[in-house]
Amino acid sequence: MGFRFRRSFKIIPGVRLNLSGSGASVSLGPRGLHYTIGPHGTRTTVGLPGSGISWTAYQPYPSGTSSSLPDRPAACGEGADGDEPPAPDASTTVIGSAPIEQLVAHSTIDIAGELSASRSRWRRYKALLAVLSTLFVAAAVMVAGSTSAVPPEAAFIAAAGAVIILGALAIHGRESSTISLDYDLSADGSARFEALTHGFSALAGCSRIWRIPLERQEADWKRNAGASKLIDRKQIALTKGNPSLVKTNVDFLQMPLGKVTIYFTPDAILVVSGGTVAALSYHDVEVVCRHARFIEEDAAPSDTTVVGETWRYVNRKGGPDRRFNNNRQLPICLYGEINFRSASGLNERIQCSRVDASEGFTAAVAACAA
């Protein structure tokens, strides 16, 4: 036999706390008009009191996962835009950095320890805020369920006081955990970082930019446009921005690469993963650019150079395989490919639709190490 539990407490006029077997929720609004915020979504209810007529709309919270149709085989480095690459095998090369702990252990810039410590302090503050919030809610439930009547004014003052205390703690914790970095660059340092920013902006302006987490050899070249190597890829966007808990007088250059995010600063390259930060000197990171011929399954990016065409299904002479009725020609694009490596374990790769943009950015990074 099923068991259902539900109890509702009036916190202040127009605000009720609801407890049930599925969790806690808060209802806002007068009788006949309720907006409820629950653990799984929100519910709006409009009705005529005493008539039995009402209208309800439920809106679940968005899910953190997504699904898509299976991806087709990639050709000549073309890969699926999925979030995770397939499991590697003997013919597969995984392109990914070492665990962030290893990068931190080999950091060559002292700021890495300070940034990681500030994030650790903020995590402790957030844990304290969560505990205090739970205690305040529990106290409110106990007061609401007691037999003695609590004046609405007293309940409002108590709720406002709790909000003020929690807000003050949150502001203090955030400010005390934030690190300020003020750069006073020399003329040469300012010129180098300005050139790096210009090269980064040109790279960010490419029609398409991808990170490459995996490549694998392909034996069935006939069904993959003649390609002997396939890659998986994920489209990314480059922006200017600073890591959380960092204030500076310059804008860092942000490159999201899956589990890690790279920030290019005037004096270091920061590698951020979750709450941990590694810092490497430009001298310690090898940035190499090369040209990559790439067979696109779809239309070529608008700003790329198309250097040829091939067939989706090819024969040994490079012509169309007549066994396939849906055969079509595919563009061969010339892309720029940039590899980031370090002896400490950094290993990332991106591709962009413009060769000149990749070459300009790589040259600017090399100048920062000069």
Distance CA 223, CA 288 (A): 31
Measured distance CA(314)–CA(64) in Å, rounded = 40
Percent of the chain with pLDDT over 90: 27
Give 92-123 pLDDT, tens digit per residue: 778 888 887 788 776 766 676 777 777 777 77
Contact 361, 343 (CB under 8 A): no
Residue 239 in contact with residue 203, Cβ under 8 Å? no
Whole-angstrom CA distances from 150 to 145, 245, 317, 329 are 10, 41, 88, 77
Q: Which amino acid is at 149?
A: A
Question: 156: how many CB neighbours lie within 10 A of its CB?
Answer: 14
Structure tokens at 216: 């694998």
Confidence of residue 4 (pLDDT cuts 50, 70, 90): very low
pLDDT level of residue 144 (50, 70, 90 thresholds) = low
pLDDT at residue number 92: 76
State how far the alpha carbon of 251 is from the alpha carbons of 17, 99, 153, 181, 197, in Å: 44, 27, 48, 11, 9
- The pLDDT tens digits of the residues spanning 297-327 come to 878 999 999 998 888 777 777 777 777 777 7
The pLDDT value given to residue 299: 86
Whether the CB-CB separation of 154 and 11 falls below 8 Å is answered with no
Higher pLDDT, 324 or 201: 201
**Whether pLDDT at 188 is above 80:** yes
pLDDT confidence of 76, banded at 50, 70, 90? Answer: very low
Q: How far apart are CA 340 and CA 362, in angstroms?
A: 10
For 124-131, what is the mean pLDDT?
Answer: 78
Residue 1 above 50 pLDDT?
no
The pTM of the full predicted model, rounded to 2 decimals, is: 0.65
Which segment, 239-248, 251-260, 268-277, 323-332, is predicted with the most confidence on average? 251-260
Give the pLDDT of residue 214. Answer: 84
In order, the DSSP letters of 90-134 are: TTEEE--PPPHHHHHHT--STHHHHHHHHHHHHHHHHHHHHHHHH
pLDDT value of residue 360: 96
Q: Where are the domains of the chain?
A: 6-60, 92-112+183-368, 117-181
| 336-367: pLDDT as tens digits | 999 999 998 999 999 999 999 999 999 999 99
Average pLDDT, the chain: 76
SS3 354: coil
Is pLDDT at 63 greater than 50 in this prediction?
A: no
pLDDT exceeds 80 at position 56: no
The answer to whether residue 83 scores a pLDDT higher than 50 is no
pLDDT at residue 228, rounded to an integer = 58
